[in-house]
Amino acid sequence: MSKNVNSMVDDLVGTLTDPIIVYPGGWGDSLPEWLKNAITLERLTENMKETKGEQSTGTDAEACAYLNTASLTMPMDSDWSQIYLYVAGKTYTRWSKGEMPKDIKVDSLTDQQMADLNRLKEWLYLRRTTARLEQERAERRQQKEEEVAKRESEQPALFEF
């Protein structure tokens, strides 16, 4: 199934403007600038995969940002700690920030942990695209309301009682 051009343009714009989904709790402002940039660049890579017919999903950098803010809000269990260290290590290394310290580096995940990470990335993608659609709907609704108000103000009252 090929996407139409408008949808492809919306997806491309979304890679640059969609919100970064963080764990609720007020730590979203603490994300480092390099991670925010990495999210945008990884979204662009995902967008290119989608144009080739592959299923889009959230990125490692997005998962890293979400788990980073979650870890600052509440303690994580062993599985999610391993997932966070795994995805943080991949993201940190990919964007040339250095190597993860050997004592906390996680090179692989169990099948269940990988399934949890993939489910998180799918959920993050759904959340950010849903936020974009809701914003577009709100903008269209506001524009329609402004047009109705303008038309009503320009139309003379034919009958006044």
For residue 76, tell me if it sits in a domain: yes
pLDDT of residue 1: 42
Report how many domains make up the chain.
1
pLDDT of residue 3: 53
Q: In Å, how far are 22, 28, 67 from 118, measured between CA atoms?
A: 16, 22, 13
- The pLDDT of 94-120, averaged and rounded, is 94
For residue 129, tell me if it sits in a domain: yes
- What range does the domain containing 75 cover? 5-146
User: Considering only CA atoms, which of 96, 114, 84 is closest in space to residue 41?
Assistant: 96
For residue 110, tell me if it sits in a domain: yes
Higher pLDDT, 6 or 111: 111
